Chain A
Amino acid sequence: MDAARRPSAALVAERAARASYGRLLALVSVRTRDIAAAEDALAEAFAAALAQWGDQGVPANPEGWLLTVARRAAGHQWARAETASRAADVLALLTEEREDFAASPFGDERLALLFVCAHPAIDPDAQAPLMLQTVLGLDASRIAAAFLVSGATMGQRLVRAKRKIRDAGIAFAVPDREDAPKRLDGVLSAIYAAYSTAWDDTLGADSRRAGLRGEALFLARLIAELMPDQPEALGLLSLICYCEARQPARRTADGSFVPLHAQDPQLWSRDMVLEAETALRRAATFAAPGRFQTEAAIQSLHAHQRMTGERFTAPLARLYDVLAGFAPTTGVMVARAVAHAENGAWDAALGQLRAMDGTAGYQPWWAALARVSWLAGDTEGAASAAATAAGLSADPAIRAFLLSGGYRFAAVGPEYNG
C-alpha cells in the first residue's frame, strides 16, 4: 500500500476517539463502575495506539483494539489495587468480555452510562458535565468554561461524582420499563441543561467562549436513537432542533441580535426544521404528552407564526399553561407571563411576575418585566426594567437590544422564544 495515502496513526486514533470515546468508556466501566479508572485506561490505550500504530500499521478494527488494550489496562489498575484473589476475578471478567464490542442487550452501553450520569444520587450540577465528559470525552476545562465555573470547581465536581458512582455502587443499567420514564426525565433534563448553558454562548457575539450546542444536540440524537419509543426523548430532540434551525438567522453579519419576529425564515436550516417536525410528529403518536414535547410544540408554533404571519397568541398562552403544569420552573413561569401579556392579559401577566420570589438577579425576569410593562403602557417602568435586564446580561448583543428599546417590538428570553 502507498504509505503516503494511508491515514496516519494519529489521525485514525483521533477519529476513533471522536466517534467511539463514549462507547469505549461505557464498555470499559460498565462492570467495574469505576469511571475514573476507565478514563485512565482509555488514555493509556490511546497513547499505546499512537505509539504502536505508527510502526506496525493501523489494525483492521481500531475500536476493538483500543477496547482490548483499555480493558487490559483497567484490569492492571484494578489488579494492582485489589488482592490476588480479586485479580483472578479480573482475568475471568476479561475473558468473558473479550468478544463483544457491540454485543449488549441494548446494543450500546452508552445508554447505561447516560442513566448513571443522571442518577438521582448524583449532584444535579454534575450530571450534564459528567455526560459531556464520559460520553463525548470533553475535557474539564472546556466544560467549566461553558458552565461558567472555575476549572478547579468543575474538576472537583466531576471527581466527586465519579467517586460517588464507584463507592455507592450505582448500577450501570438501564432502568426497567416502570422506572424508565421518570429516570429518563433526569437524563433529558441534564442534556437540556447542557444545551441551555450553551445558549448564552450562542447568543453571544463572543466566539472565544466555546459553546456546547453541537455536543448537546449529539446527546439528544443519541438518546432518541437509543430509546426510540420514549416520546419525551423525541420531544427534547425536536425542541433542540427547532432552536438550532434558527441559529443562522439570529444574528446579523455584524453580530447584532435579531429577535424571532424579525428573522428571515429563509435563513433557517430546512434540515433542522424537518428533523424537529419529524421527531415531534413521532412523539405525538404515543399520545403521552410531557414537558419537552410541549416546549417543542411551543417552538413549532413560534416558527409557524413567523412563516405564515398569523398570530397564535391564544394557543401559545394555553400551551404555556400546560407547560407550567409539567415543569413550573422559574424560567417557564416567566415565559408564561410573557405569553399571557402577548395575548392581551397584561395585568394578569404583571401579577404573575410580581408574585414570583427570588428573581432579583434573574435576567429573564427583568427582560420579561420590561416587555410586559411596555405592553401594559408603563413606558418608564419598561425602560427601567430593561436597563436592569441589560446589566444582568452576559451577552453584548442582548444588552444592546434591550438598551436600544428592542423590548418595544419583541419579547426575548430563553424559555420564551429562544
Chain B
Amino acid sequence: MSSEFAQLVVDEAIFHLVPQRRKSAPVPAELQLSEAVCQLTDDVRTKIQANFRKVLTSYGREVVEETDVKKSTLPDCVHEYLTKERELVEVSEDIAQLLWDSQKASSPAGLLLVAAASLAGQRALLIVKLEQEGGLRAQDVVVDGRRTFDMRYFADLLMTEHNKVYKAALFSADGITEEGHIEGWAADKQLGGRMAQFWLQAFLGCRQRNDPKLLTQAFHEAAGEWIDQRVSDPEKSLRYLMALLVELRSNTPTLDPTAFARRHLDLRDQDDFLTHLASKNARTTVFDKDVARVATRLNDLKLGFESGIFIVAPVKRVDEDVEIDDHPDGTSTVTVKGKITSTRSHYSARKQDPASAGDQTPEPDSDA
C-alpha cells in the first residue's frame, strides 16, 4: 500500500450548514444543523472516500493536539467519538458549533461534513469544510420533435473534479496517545497548500507535529545528497542543484517534492529521487517551507574537483557565467566568465593539503 489513506473507508456522514457571519446583516445568520445522517448511496459514499484519500495523501500534514494552550474543545469531541462515548450526530453538532465560533467574518459560507470512517480498520472521524461551487449541466432533450440540449446552472455543487478548496482533518482511534491526547492529519487545499491558522489552531485545536524548519532542512539535505551521490553527469548535477536552490529560495510558502521532481528532473531520475527522499525520512508530499535552518547554504554553489580544486559561485550568477563541458574520459571543463577582481590564499579546515599544511596561515573559510 502506497499510503495508509488507501485504507480510509467512509461509512456514514452528516452535513451542517455553516453560513457566513455578516455584521451588517439585518438578521444575524445562524448555524443550520442537521438532525440525522445522510442517506448515502454507494457511489456517493465511495466518491467522498476517494476524494479525501487524495486530499489527505497530497496535502495532509501530521497534527497533534495542542496541549500547552488549549484553543479549541474539538480534540475532546473527537476523543469522545473515537472512544465510543458519544455518537456521530451528537458530536457533529458540537463540531459545527466550534467551526461557527472559530470562523471570522471573512470566512465564506460552507458545509461541514463529519463522517464516521475507519482507517486501516480503526474507528476514525473525518471532518471536512466544503464550499459550494457553481457549474453548468447539459442534458440532451427533445423539444418540438427536435433534439437539443437543456443547459442548467447549479450554484450548490460540492467536490467537483477540480475543486481547489478543501479543509479536511482525519483522526483515528490509533492516534490516541497514552495521555489521552489525539493525533491525526489535517489538510488545507487552499492558500497554496499552506495550512490556515484558524483551521489548524482555532478550530482543530492542534499544531503540526513536524516543524517546517526541520522538514525543509531534511528535504535540502536529502535532495543535495541524492544529487551528489546519484547523478554522475556533472552538467546534469549542476542543473539539478541549481533547481533545488532556486526552489528553496523562491517565495512559495509550501514545497511539493513530487512536483519539484516532475518539473526539474529527467523522467527516469524522478522515482529514484523520491525513493531517496523517503529513505532519508524527508517528505515527498507537500509541506510548509521554512528555510531558516538552511538559508546560509542557499546563496552559493560549490563545484569540487577530484584534484582538490573547487569553485564557489553565487547561485544567481551560475546560469549566466558558469558553463560545464563534459568529456568522454569523465573529466569536465568548467568555464567561468567575468572580470577577475581579486586573488588570495585560502584556508579550508576540511580539506587541507597535507604537503603544505604547515605553511598556511589560517584564515576564515569564506565557503563555510
Q: Do A and B bind each other?
A: no
Interface residue ranges, B against A (CB under 8 Å): none
Interface residue ranges, A against B (CB under 8 Å): none
